[in-house]
A and B are shown apart, each in its own frame.
Chain A
Amino acid sequence: MPKAREKHRILEAPNTTVFLLGNEAIARGAIEYGIGFAAAYPGTPSSEIVETLAAVASELGIHVEWSVNEKVAFEGAYAAAMSGVPSLVAMKHVGLNVAADPFMTSAYTGVEAGFIIVSADDPYMHSSQNEQDNRWYGLHAYIPVLEPCDPQEAKDLTYVGLGLSEKLHHPFMLRSVTRVSHVRAPVKLGEVRKPRVVGSFPRNPRRWAVIPEYARKMKLSLLERWKAVENHLAHLPYNRVEGDGRVLIIASGIGYTYAAEAVEMLRIKAKIFKVASPVPLPRKLVEKAISDIEKVLVVEECDPVVELQVRAILQDIGLQVKVHGENILGRKGELTLDRVIEATAKVFEVPWTTPEVLKVPIEPPPRPPILCAGCPHRATFYALKIATKKLRVDPIYSGDIGCYSLGIAPPYEAQDVIIEMGGSIGLANGFAHTVKNRPVVAIIGDSTFFHAGLPPLINAVYNRAPVLVLVLDNETTGMTGFQPHPGTGVRADGTPGKKVYMERIAEAMGVDYVEIFDPYNVKKAIEAIERGLKVAMGGGIAVLIARRECSLNAVRSGRLGGAYQVDPIKCKKCMLCVNELACPAIIVENGVPKIMENICVGCGVCNEICPAKAFVKVR
């Protein structure tokens, strides 16, 4: 929807107010600053930042790419900033773990032009494996963290962060969270500066090469810069004190929105210190805000990053003020208005009754996310189950991050362990040497294979870790919204790149057996998996590529379509399709399977597995 016909709305004129997603607002902030380079690996809730920039890259004449992983994305953007081209790199919180190596050292060298690292954290783990609070990374790496409270501030602080980064020659981080990145709000646009796209890199290894001799000097200047950073942040207008009272609420990032409404709803007098730069927390501002205060409530999402700094500052200046925060709000999940109102009422000692929640007499069945109708992964999981039954083996299913993580659910139950991107093959390197009586099947997606699957696969070949690597290749990065990757040969802005073939990579690595199959052809898929399993059980390394386009993409492009129906005369009511496929298009009506025609996409896998071939194509 509103993709303006002529001009992308992200390029609307200054002073207009546009309804933007937080991530689009971040992209706009970077455009306003005039960045010349942006890179990312997609990950919820960060993907739309570079997606938005990619959509206007050719118009602006800037370089925007989906990099192969977050480390490479970081390095690309970092080098751009070294060469004098302002840049942005974006990732989800766990992506920063992948990029942590260059991140830690970037504070030593600093940068030439503005460099902003966007970390979109995911409290409550809506779409993530953990809820790490990446503001810690800022303290750890001496990289200042800005934390916006809403989409407008997300745009503004992206701009401000790039400016401070350039001024202080130091990388800056913007920490967003799901409820900033994925909230839409009116955003007032600012002036757009001309992008700076061409850099230069005069030879100066004393500045850029961290051999111990140079790095020791860099550490000293880093500590000096860290002081300068704190001084500058003390003057940031987005850090401000509102209202007055004897109780101080210190609210960082999104915490401010809840705290401000809580004060309004409770009709209390409170002083709010709104924090936009949690790392480093400007000491001067805390000292100023704390005068005549009896107690403090710190409101922040996830970990007590601000609270610990506040406690340290108070102890330093010898002030005995009771600090609440984590003790009432906890450190897990998202903040809500209820949580913050309850905490505020408690600290201010005012009455508050949380409205009663209606109790429904019947409980609806759970509805977890599922594989879509026509999803090729469903057919692969089915074939995998049959192949293992035929060979009478019970493999360890080493899983990974992507749509196929949903294979953890019944009836597939083929994800025994899921840790991180590329972990499927990495963990297989251990299981293969320690669990001798079961074969190991590593299940990984195409984009994930390129992201972090290559080094552990080389390791398996080199150190002889018998494993069947099943690459579920749906020719896109599915879960995050269909971004291209090296295997597609298409670049972020839609222009052709060069296609990288994972089968050729596997062969060049010395993998013992490589085969490609089409999961929609279930019989052949079962045979291929049997062959792969036999290789792994014989001590070899096999890579099988289940290649079939994501059904959502295929339907959109018209390459897949139609619908099936059940022929009630032919159907033997064995329920194999219902029980073993769990396709959202198949329901049971009066004891007979029935296809919901508006959900069916015509993949035909149900008919493939039906012993009576009772499905007929009707469209």
Chain B
Amino acid sequence: MPCEGICKGKVNIVLVGVGGQGLITIGRVLGEACIRKGIDIRVAETHGMAQRGGAVEVFVRIGYGVKAPLVPLGQADYVLALEVLEALRGVRYLKKCGWLITSNTLLPPPATKNVPTVTGIFNALKSLPINIIQVPVEAIAKEVGDFRSMNMPLLGGLIAFIEELLPVATVAGVIEEVLGFANKKAFIMGYEEVRKMLSTNNFIGNEVCIKR
């Protein structure tokens, strides 16, 4: 096999959540930041029917030479999940030992029976050969005083991983300009929280991946 998964130098990210949670906003912030750094990017969005409270996927590909807009199954470096049931659904995009950056929010589909619990979901995820970071998005959103900014701490968490490519200051600048100060604060808090978690090994890392 000449190349395992996507070629090096390209970062593949899949954002998953429920329509209305602000996934498209994350994609737009990343795009603006990439333009400021002269990096190529493709963001494929979900509009229309699928947006009405349904499961939503946004594909982000960053790096020199990206052309195709979609990330294939099993080939994402990062999956950002704004909701935990969608994390369960979205993890199929993640490559082996990739990072799942997720919230703790559970939004059960209406009138659905046998919805798994948050603990049940994380137990299932832990059994997979992946790394998991749980970002306390609700606590951060509460602290900045804006429920709608729950998407920003996750973006902060992602930047903690790819800041060599996209510096945190560039992304923070974009957010402050287009989304305002509260969102920037939520972003920075998410970024710092995840950096702290990584430096103190406060994440769920599957044994298979640690050995690698």
Residues in chain A within 8 A of chain B (CB atoms): 1-2, 17-19, 21, 44-45, 126-127, 149-150, 179, 182-186, 254, 256-258, 260-261, 264-267, 334, 336-338, 350-358, 360-362, 364-372, 403, 405-406, 410-411, 479-481, 578-579, 582-584, 586-587, 598
Contacts and interface: CB of A to CB of B under 8 A. Distances in A.
B143 to A, nearest CB: 16
Given A150-B67, A264-B65, A45 B86 contact: no
B125 A360 contact: yes
B74 A357 contact: yes
Given A364-B86, A365-B85, A367-B85, A185 B42 contact: yes
5 contacts: A126-B48, A364-B116, A367-B89, A480-B48, A584-B53
A15 to B, nearest CB: 13
A369 B27 contact: no
Contacts of B114: 365
B109 A362 contact: no
A2 B111 contact: no
A569 B149 CA distance: 35
A479 B2 contact: no
Contact of B54 (A19, A184, A257, A370): A370
Nearest to B70: A336
Interface stretch (B4-12, B159-167, B186-194): B4-12
A266 B2 contact: yes
A516 to B, nearest CB: 25
Contacts, number: 199
Interface in B65-79: 65-75
A338 B7 contact: no
Contact of B51 (A150, A356, A369): A369
Given A44-B47, A126-B48, A352-B1, 13 more contacts: A2-B177, A45-B47, A150-B69, A182-B47, A185-B40, A265-B2, A357-B74, A360-B92, A367-B85, A367-B109, A372-B53, A583-B110, A598-B147
B35 A584 contact: no
Contact of B115 (A365, A403, A582): A365
B62 to A, nearest CB: 11
Interface residues of B, number: 74
B52 A362 contact: no
Contacts of A1: 25, 28-29, 178-179
Contacts of B49: 44, 126-127, 369, 405, 479
A328 to B, nearest CB: 17
A611 B98 CA distance: 51
Contacts of B4: 355
- A contacts with B: majority SS: loop
Nearest to B19: A369
Given A18-B35, A19-B31, A261-B68, A183 B48 contact: no
Interface in B9-57: 18-19, 25, 27-29, 31-32, 34-35, 40-55
Nearest to A586: B110
A261 B55 CA distance: 28
Contact of B50 (A369, A372, A411): A369
B172 interface: no
Nearest to A264: B7
Contacts of A185: 31, 40-43
A267 B69 contact: no
A149 B71 CA distance: 16
A179 B68 CA distance: 9
Contacts of A265: 2-3, 6-7
B73 A182 contact: no
Interface of B: 1-7, 18-19, 25, 27-29, 31-32, 34-35, 40-55, 65-75, 85-86, 88-89, 91-92, 94-96, 107-112, 114-116, 120-121, 124-125, 127-130, 147, 177-179
Contacts of A258: 67-68
B69 A179 contact: yes
Nearest to B53: A370
Contact of B1 (A182, A351, A366, A582): A351
Contact of B124 (A150, A362, A582): A362
B67 A257 contact: yes
Contact of A183 (B34, B45, B125): B45
B197 to A, nearest CB: 22
Contacts of B70: 179, 334, 336-337
Given A360-B88, A360-B125, A186 B111 contact: no
Contact of A355 (B5, B35, B50, B88): B5
B44 A182 contact: yes
A183 B47 CA distance: 11
Interface-centre pick from A357, A358, A368 (highest chain B CB count, 10 A)? A358
B28 A338 contact: no
Contacts of B88: 360, 362, 364
A587 B44 CA distance: 32
A369 B109 CA distance: 10
Given A126-B49, A361-B127, A367 B55 contact: yes
Contacts of B75: 337, 355
A365 B112 contact: yes
B109 A370 contact: yes
Contacts of A364: 85-86, 88-89, 116
B52 A403 contact: yes
A304 to B, nearest CB: 21
B45 A182 contact: yes
Contacts of B35: 17-19, 186
Nearest to B7: A265
Contacts of B115: 365
A186 B34 contact: yes
B31 A360 contact: no
A338 B41 contact: no
Contact of B95 (A260, A355, A410): A355
Contacts of B27: 184
A506 B68 CA distance: 50
